[in-house]
Structure 1
Amino acid sequence: MWQGVIPAVTTKFKQDGGLDHAEMERCFAYQMDAGCHGLVACGSLGEGNMLSHEERLEVLKLCKQATADKPALLTISEPGTREACELAKRAAGAGADGIMIVPSPIYHTSRSETIANLRTITQAADLPVMIYSNRVGYRVDVTPDMMEELADDPRFVAIKESSDDIRRTTEIFNRLGDRYAVFTGVDNLAYEALTAGAVGWIAGLVVAFPKETVAIYELIRRQRYEEALAIYRWFRPLLDLDVSTFLVQQIKLAEVIEIGSNDRVRMPRQPLSGEHRKNVEHTIKVAVESRPSLPQF
Structure 2
Amino acid sequence: MQKSDFRGVLPAITTKMTADQQVDLDGVKADVVFQIEGGVDAIVVCGSLGEASSLTVAEKLAIAKAAIEAAAGRVPVLLTIAEDSTSVGAALAAEAEKIGVEGLMVLPAMRYLADDREVVVHYRAIAAASNLPIIVYNNPLAYGINITAEMLKDMADEPKFVAIKESTGDTRRINETINALGDRYQLLTGVDDLALESLVLGCHGWIAGLVVAFPKETVAIYKLVQQDRIKEAMEIYRWFLPLLHLDIGPKFVQNIKLCEAIVRGTSPVVRQPRLELVGDEEKAIRAVVEQGLKTRPDLAKYGF
| TM-score, with structure 1 as normaliser | 0.98
Q: Does 1:296 align with 2:284?
A: no
Q: Does 1:160 align with 2:143?
A: no
Q: Tell me which of 203, 224, 228 is aligned to 1:219.
A: 224
Q: Give the 3-state SS of the residue equivalent to 2:129 in structure 1.
A: helix
1:99, 1:128 within 8 Å by CA — same for their partners in 2? Answer: yes
The aligned counterpart of 2:284 is 279
Q: How does 1:72-91 map to 2 (within 5 A)?
A: 72-91=77-96
Matched residues in 2 for 1:262 and 1:138: separation? 27
Q: Which deviations, in whole Å up to 9, do the C-alpha atoms of 1:253-285 show, x marking residues without a partner?
A: 010010110111110000000100000100110
Q: Any unmatched runs of 5+ in structure 2?
A: none
Give the letter aligned to residue 32 of structure 1. Answer: I
Q: Which deviations, in whole Å up to 9, do the C-alpha atoms of 1:108-165 show, x marking residues without a partner?
A: 1101001000001110122100000000000011111111111101000010000010
Q: Does 1:54 align with 2:58?
A: yes
Q: Which deviations, in whole Å up to 9, do the C-alpha atoms of 1:187-237 show, x marking residues without a partner?
A: 000000000010100000000010100000000001000000000000000
Q: Does 1:9 align with 2:13?
A: yes
Q: Does 1:23 align with 2:27?
A: yes
Matched residues in 1 for 2:202 and 2:106: separation? 22
Cα distance, 1:247 vs structure 2 = 0.5
Matched residues in 2 for 1:70 and 1:286: separation? 32
1:32, 1:66 within 8 Å by CA — same for their partners in 2? Answer: no
Cα distance, 1:69 vs structure 2 = 4.0
Q: Give the 3-state SS of the residue equivalent to 1:132 in structure 2.
A: strand
Matched residues in 2 for 1:76 and 1:264: separation? 23
Of 17-26 and 140-149, more deviation after overlay is shown by: 17-26
Q: How does 1:135-150 map to 2 (within 5 A)?
A: 135-150=140-155
Q: Does 1:184 align with 2:186?
A: no
1:104, 1:138 within 8 Å by CA — same for their partners in 2? Answer: no
The aligned counterpart of 1:242 is 247
Matched residues in 1 for 2:186 and 2:65: separation? 24
Q: Tell me which of 154, 168, 176 is aligned to 1:171.
A: 176
Q: Does 1:40 align with 2:47?
A: no
Matched residues in 2 for 1:274 and 1:125: separation? 46
Cα distance, 1:23 vs structure 2 = 1.7
Matched residues in 2 for 1:143 and 1:19: separation? 35
The aligned counterpart of 1:109 is 114
Of 219-228 and 61-70, more deviation after overlay is shown by: 61-70
Q: Give the 3-state SS of the residue equivalent to 2:111 in structure 1.
A: coil
The aligned counterpart of 2:139 is 134
1:128, 1:156 within 8 Å by CA — same for their partners in 2? Answer: yes
Q: Give the 3-state SS of the residue equivalent to 2:9 in structure 1.
A: strand
2:36, 2:75 within 8 Å by CA — same for their partners in 1? Answer: no
Q: Which deviations, in whole Å up to 9, do the C-alpha atoms of 1:64-103 show, x marking residues without a partner?
A: 2233242211100011111111111111111110111111
2:189, 2:195 within 8 Å by CA — same for their partners in 1? Answer: yes
Q: Which deviations, in whole Å up to 9, do the C-alpha atoms of 1:35-79 show, x marking residues without a partner?
A: 000011100000012111111011111222233242211100011
1:104, 1:140 within 8 Å by CA — same for their partners in 2? Answer: no
Over the matched positions of the two proteins, sequence identity in percent amounts to: 43
Q: Does 1:197 align with 2:208?
A: no
Q: Give the 3-state SS of the residue equivalent to 1:157 in structure 2.
A: strand
Question: After TM superposition, which residue ranges in structure 1, 4 or more long, deviate above 6 angstroms?
Answer: none
2:196, 2:237 within 8 Å by CA — same for their partners in 1? Answer: yes
**Alignment: residue pair count:** 297
1:157, 1:181 within 8 Å by CA — same for their partners in 2? Answer: yes
1:157, 1:180 within 8 Å by CA — same for their partners in 2? Answer: yes
Matched residues in 1 for 2:166 and 2:88: separation? 24
Give the letter aligned to residue 194 of structure 2. Answer: L
